[in-house]
Amino acid sequence: MHDETINLLEKRKRQVHTGGDFDMVAEKQSLAGAVSQRSCSFCGSRVVLYPIADAIHVVHGPIGCASYTWDIRGALSSGPELHRLSFSTDMQEKDVIYGGESKLHRALVELIDEYRPKAAFVYATCIVGVIGDDVVAICRKVEREKGIPVIAVDSEGFKGSKKEGYKAACNALFKIVGTDDVQEKIPKSINILGDFNLAGEIWIIKEYYERMGVHVVCTISGDGRVDDIRKAHRAQVNIVQCSGSVMNLARMLEHEYGTPSLRASYFGIEDMSKALYDVADFFDDAEMRRSAQRVIKEEVARLLPALAPYRKDLKGKKAAVYTGGAFKVFSLVRSLRTLGMEVVVAGSQTGTVDDYRLLSELCDPGTVILDDTNPLELAKFVKEKDVDLFIGGVKERPIAYKLGVGFCDHNHERKEALAGFIGMLNFAKEVHSSVMSPVWQFAPRRAGQ
């Protein structure tokens, strides 16, 4: 495999930038036969809605689609944990032939009676779109019968990639927003959108903002609550963390309720500090600025000495980064640079041309930029660039390990908080333990085997 030559597919060449003039395309349907790393529309909708902890999440389709179970994701809750249960109508051959509407109705009634949720989300899958079950009608019927929001999520997997699922989830969420009885804005208040509370990260971020005197109205969707989402329209500004997943919701809030939005990232010292300062600047509050400065100064003073030994070992090491959204890649490039590392391969599943242009400017010359890549391409560039560390998700882990490369999970399955200032230290520890592990001396990738 060391000497194997892997060529790019002809129709994929403009989705790979390897230097020179920037001439890249993105936001295309995945190329048939390329074994894309992308997920489907159904997956995207569940990523966004799943962490709402006091709602039930019902998959209307075959049992195989209900793959999110008790401990497969790191989205934590400070209270109810209904989101960690996975419910399915388990459609069989008979349901496909005769329709599954009555089965869905019975399932919803039984689940609502048993668990008393604040709301129910019903996810349509591919087979439901094919046979034409009227999921919306069933949801309306159960909503009238049970008196809670029962929301159909238009998430048939064949409709497109993960991005289409994000849109479906935002449309579902917006049906809850504004149903609170009170309409006036809450002073010095924000919504945190697009953070999923992996390993409790939303609690870290909320604490920083509260130390600044900022009131967090709701978090969508990490540690989410239906009643908080009802009053999301009362916040004065939306702080959008994962812009790809919830930017549509932010736009709807701005159009309907006049709520502006700020983009933010909570990964790394630079981006975390900017996220705090940006909120203080938005409110144009001198005391809030001083509080933000105090929070940052205290946290960085503790962090930098702790990072020093990791920087010493990692200086000059090379990394590849591939994530779902491009905005996260920006933060990872900066964070790895803080650790003295160089990013030589960077890409995402859902980035835009503008995202990749910015990424190209942020990275060093010669960095390979990838859109919607596949395992063969990833393997090609990881080997060619002689990478020491691969940062990605569950689908990239086997690629790294097969090539004898250290791996860091930065996706929804992780159990370690990587956001905030404390998250930067956790990140440094994880990167260091992966890159510096003695096991890689036995890997054949640099031995010419």
CA gap 206, 218 in Å, rounded? 10
The tokens of 76 are what? 């934590």
pLDDT 10s digits, 319-343: 999 998 888 899 999 999 999 999 9
pLDDT over 70 (residue 2): no
Q: Could you tell me if 170 and 260 lie in one domain?
A: no
Give the CATH number of the domain where residue 394 resides. Answer: 3.40.50.1980
162 close to 38: Cβ distance less than 8 angstroms: yes
Q: Could you tell me if 94 and 203 lie in one domain?
A: no
pLDDT over 60 (residue 441): yes
CA gap 50, 80 in Å, rounded? 13
Q: Could you tell me if 65 and 129 lie in one domain?
A: yes
338 close to 319: Cβ distance less than 8 angstroms: no
277 domain-assigned = yes
CA gap 356, 26 in Å, rounded? 9
271 close to 420: Cβ distance less than 8 angstroms: no
| Residues ≥6 apart with Cβ < 8 Å to 352 | 26, 27, 326
Q: Could you tell me if 200 and 124 lie in one domain?
A: no
What does the pLDDT read at residue 163? Answer: 86
Which string of b and e fits 331-345 if b means at least 16 CB within 10 Å?
A: bbbbbbbbbebbbbb
Q: Could you tell me if 68 and 152 lie in one domain?
A: yes
Instruction: Determine phi and psi for 36, rounding to 5 degrees.
Output: -55, 150
The tokens of 180 are what? 């609170």
253 domain-assigned = yes
DSSP β-bridge partners for residue 432: none
DSSP β-bridge partners for residue 422: none
CA gap 107, 393 in Å, rounded? 33
CA gap 449, 445 in Å, rounded? 7
Residue where a domain stops, chosen among 121, 139, 174: 174
Among 159, 105, 108, 160, residue whose Cα is nearest residue 133: 105
Q: Could you tell me if 204 and 170 lie in one domain?
A: no
Q: Could you tell me if 215 and 263 lie in one domain?
A: yes
88 domain-assigned = yes
340 close to 316: Cβ distance less than 8 angstroms: yes
| Residues ≥6 apart with Cβ < 8 Å to 269 | 300, 303, 335, 338, 421, 424
What does the pLDDT read at residue 206? Answer: 98
67 close to 264: Cβ distance less than 8 angstroms: no
Residue where a domain stops, chosen among 147, 174, 201: 174
Residue where a domain stops, chosen among 226, 260, 293: 293
What does the pLDDT read at residue 445? Answer: 66
Alpha carbon 394 to its chain centroid, in Å, reads 13
- The SS3 call for residue 346 is strand
399 close to 382: Cβ distance less than 8 angstroms: yes
Mean pLDDT of the chain: 93
* Structural domains of the chain, count: 3
What does the pLDDT read at residue 363? Answer: 95
| Residues ≥6 apart with Cβ < 8 Å to 151 | 119, 120, 121, 122, 139, 172, 175, 176
439 domain-assigned = yes
Q: Work out whether the CA dihedral 238, 242, 245, 248 comes out positive or negative.
A: positive
403 domain-assigned = yes
What does the pLDDT read at residue 1? Answer: 42
Q: Could you tell me if 439 and 314 lie in one domain?
A: yes
What does the pLDDT read at residue 4? Answer: 58
35 domain-assigned = no
DSSP β-bridge partners for residue 347: 322, 370
pLDDT 10s digits, 341-365: 999 999 998 899 999 999 999 999 9
Q: Could you tell me if 160 and 197 lie in one domain?
A: no
Give the model's confidence band at 5: pLDDT under 50 very low, under 70 low, under 90 confident, else very high. Answer: low
Q: Could you tell me if 273 and 379 lie in one domain?
A: no
The tokens of 352 are what? 């835009």
Residue 321 vs residues 92, 305, 408: alpha-carbon distances, Å: 40, 26, 10
Q: Could you tell me if 337 and 438 lie in one domain?
A: yes
pLDDT over 80 (residue 70): no
CA gap 166, 53 in Å, rounded? 18
372 domain-assigned = yes
Alpha helices in 81-200 (DSSP H): 93-98, 101-115, 126-131, 135-146, 162-174
2 domain-assigned = no
Q: Which domain holds residue 355?
A: 10-28+310-446
Gyration radius of the chain over CA positions: 23
| Residues ≥6 apart with Cβ < 8 Å to 415 | 74, 199
Instruction: Determine phi and psi for 47, rounding to 5 degrees.
Output: -55, -45
What does the pLDDT read at residue 34? Answer: 75
pLDDT over 50 (residue 310): yes
Q: Could you tell me if 146 and 246 lie in one domain?
A: no
Alpha carbon 405 to its chain centroid, in Å, reads 24
pLDDT 10s digits, 390-421: 999 888 999 999 999 999 988 877 889 999 99
Q: Which of 172-181, 201-210, 411-420 is predicted with the least confidence, judged by mean pLDDT?
A: 411-420
What does the pLDDT read at residue 449? Answer: 47
Which residue is listed with tokens 């391969």?
345
